[in-house]
Amino acid sequence: MDKNLNSKNSSSSPSSGGGLVQYIKDVFNGVKSLLVGLRRTMYYFTHHKEIITEQYPDNRATLVFPERFKGEVVMTHDENNEHACTGCTACELACPNATIKIITKFDVSPEGKKKKAIDKFVYHLELCTMCNLCIVACPTDAIKMAQTFEHSVYNRADLTKILNKPGSKIREGVE
Amino acid sequence: MGKLWEVFMLSFSKISQLIDSWLRATFNATWTMVIEMVIAGVCVIGLFAALGLVLVLMERRVAAWIQIRLGPNRVGPGGMLQSLADTLKLLVKEGMTPDGADKFLFNLAPFIAMMVAMLLMAPIAFAKDFQLWDLNIGVLYISAVSSLMVISILMAGWASNNKYSLMGAMRSGAQIVSYELSAGLSILTVVILSGSLNLNEIILSQSDGWWIFKGHIPVIISFVIFIIAVTAETNRAPFDLAEAESELTAGFHTEYSGMKFALFFLAEYINVFIVCAIGATLFLGGWMPFHIGHWEGFNHVMDFIPSSLWFFGKTFFLIFLIMWFRWTFPRLRIDQLLNLEWKYLLPISMFNILLVTVMAILGWYF
């Protein structure tokens, strides 16, 4: 029986020869490594304190996002309802999915000079992949990524957003 | 107080005797037989449903705790009704049969799976003197019938007419054919020691100590091999190659939906329960209470715990063990699986059985 075992396993043992001693070593090492794994999971099972999952709707008020979490593109407005978008369309060109469409108009200044400005900054949230390229492309930091994420709506049209607030205008000095 | 204690101690065997004597007094022998069979059938189906609900919930909870999660916690108090809600959902879902499938076999397969599970319930002793069928070859019957399980899997895989299903089924076939051997050999060690194939007699032979304590290291080795082999036989991780979600979508039950899928799902858990019940019966003394040598007081206290509680406690302990394995170990590859059986488990269990035989002949056990 013993001899039989020996010859059978010396040829087949994965760790090249060694015979019965190696075979028994393999078995012991295998069992040992399995026990190490079992001990780890048993530790987790018996130390049921730390929970790594977010209990989402319950902890909505206290949710903490990682710094780089990207939820949607927004345009920053200051207290005077002024933004920094010059309508240069760099973001529109940078966008891989044609998520952004900028409609421009011409403002007439008191001196009678025409100046290009945005009429509507159209943002299609349903097409956006949150790749951040528009934010990188923007020369005046007019847009940024917000950390909102509850974007579900009943009507697809609601996902098409106008980012510049009504009545807003470009901040003085931004070119 | 005495009355209350009597009600509490009303064991399963007493209840069954009461029902039996009442039926015998009311009906003639034939009708008594028929009614008792119906009652037994209803009880088994009820036990199946209850086990399905409890074990699915237990599995999800164990998995969640091991993975530092909470697990089901929305439906009912603490998520207790989650599996009930899932069952209701499965009941009202459409059970589709694919166009290219062999319709008869496809629809038959889940019922075969359930029938095998039901047949396996017959010789298990759930409590003292409480057994559907006191069979003198109980161990042989169980090892014979449990291998029929693979037929339903092969049937489902073949009839689905789907390559994933067929591959899953074939893997399951190879797996069960191999692991049956070491499961059988490890069961044999207990048969050798107790000298009987009757499950009841095996339990009675453990009245002075469970075989896992009486049989020293060889029985412990065969217990470990038994647990590994039955984990493989019931197609559970780390041996769940038959369904291997990441490679074969869902293996043999890819094409099943609704209640037909639920039957396979239920059969898996029932089978886990059954193999754990058998493991508890053979190695951990079935419904026998835990006794330590001559500690009369301690043994007396242990005797007061009902035998059914002992049986279910041991069974659920083994079920927990198998669930613990599932959520710890990664799935094996098919060649690793066959290597493990043919190069490690089978030689070790053959050597082990030799050792146990010598031990039994020389009487080297308590």
| In a domain? residue A174 | no
Q: What is the pLDDT of residue B30?
A: 83
Segment B102-118 mean pLDDT: 87
| In a domain? residue A79 | yes
β B130-131/B125-127 pair status: antiparallel
Same structural domain for residues A77 and A148? Answer: yes
| In a domain? residue A105 | yes
Q: Do B324 and A34 touch (CB under 8 A)?
A: no
| In a domain? residue A83 | yes
Q: Do A5 and B354 touch (CB under 8 A)?
A: no
Same structural domain for residues A31 and A72? Answer: no
Q: Does A12 touch chain B (CB under 8 A)?
A: yes
Task: Using CA coordinates, name the residue in chain A closest to B345.
Answer: A27
| Backbone φ, ψ for residue B104 (5° rounding) | -65, -50
Q: Does A40 touch chain B (CB under 8 A)?
A: yes
Segment B88-95 mean pLDDT: 84
Q: What is the pLDDT of residue B10?
A: 61
Nearby residues of B312 by Cβ (< 8 Å), 6 or more positions away: B126
Q: What is the pLDDT of residue A136?
A: 92
Same structural domain for residues A110 and A31? Answer: no
Task: Point out the residue among A14, A42, A51 whose CB comes nearest to the CB of B68.
Answer: A51
Q: Which of A57, A45, A61, A43 is nearest to B71 (CA)?
A: A45
Q: Do A55 and B70 touch (CB under 8 A)?
A: yes
| In a domain? residue A54 | no
Same structural domain for residues A96 and A153? Answer: yes
Give residue-wise pLDDT tens across range A98-119: 899 999 888 777 777 777 888 8
Give residue-wise pLDDT tens across range B260-277: 888 888 888 888 898 898
Give residue-wise pLDDT tens across range B142-164: 888 888 888 888 888 888 888 88
Q: What is the pLDDT of residue B176?
A: 83
Same structural domain for residues A72 and A42? Answer: no
Same structural domain for residues A107 and A158? Answer: yes
The helix (run of H) or strand (run of E) holding residue A22 is: helix A19-46
Task: Point out the residue among B62, B69, B327 whose CB comes nearest to the CB of A51.
Answer: B69
| In a domain? residue A90 | yes
- CA distances (Å), A112 to each of A56, A106, A117, B254, in order? 55, 11, 15, 72
Q: Does B317 touch chain A (CB under 8 A)?
A: no
Q: How confident is the model at residue B7 (pLDDT cuts 50, 70, 90)?
A: low
Same structural domain for residues A124 and A156? Answer: yes
Same structural domain for residues A25 and A103? Answer: no
Give residue-wise pLDDT tens across range A117-150: 888 899 999 899 999 999 999 998 889 998 888 8
Same structural domain for residues A24 and A80? Answer: no
Q: What is the pLDDT of residue A4?
A: 40
Chain B neighbors of A14, CB-CB under 8 A: 339
Q: Does B320 touch chain A (CB under 8 A)?
A: no
Q: Does A56 touch chain B (CB under 8 A)?
A: no
Give residue-wise pLDDT tens across range A34-80: 899 888 888 888 887 888 888 888 888 888 888 888 988 999 888 88
Å from B361 to nearest chain A CA? 19
Note the Cα B279 to chain centre separation in Å: 8
ipTM for this model: 0.70
- The mean of the pLDDT values for chain B is 82
Q: What number of other Cβ atoms are within 10 A of residue A144's Cβ?
A: 14
CATH number, domain of A82, equals 3.30.70.3270
Domain containing A41 equals: 2-46
Å from B140 to nearest chain A CA? 26
Segment A15-27 mean pLDDT: 75
Long-range CB contacts for residues A151-156, cutoff 8 Å, separation at least 24: A151/A71, A151/A72, A151/A125, A156/A126
- Residue recorded with tokens 């000298």: B195
| In a domain? residue A53 | no
| In a domain? residue A175 | no
Q: Does A93 touch chain B (CB under 8 A)?
A: no
Q: Does B348 touch chain A (CB under 8 A)?
A: yes
Same structural domain for residues A40 and A115? Answer: no
Domain tally, chain A = 2
Task: Using CA coordinates, name the residue in chain A closest to B347.
Answer: A5
* Residues in B 53-72 with any Cβ partner in A closer than 8 A: 62, 65-70
Same structural domain for residues A75 and A40? Answer: no
Q: Does A8 touch chain B (CB under 8 A)?
A: yes
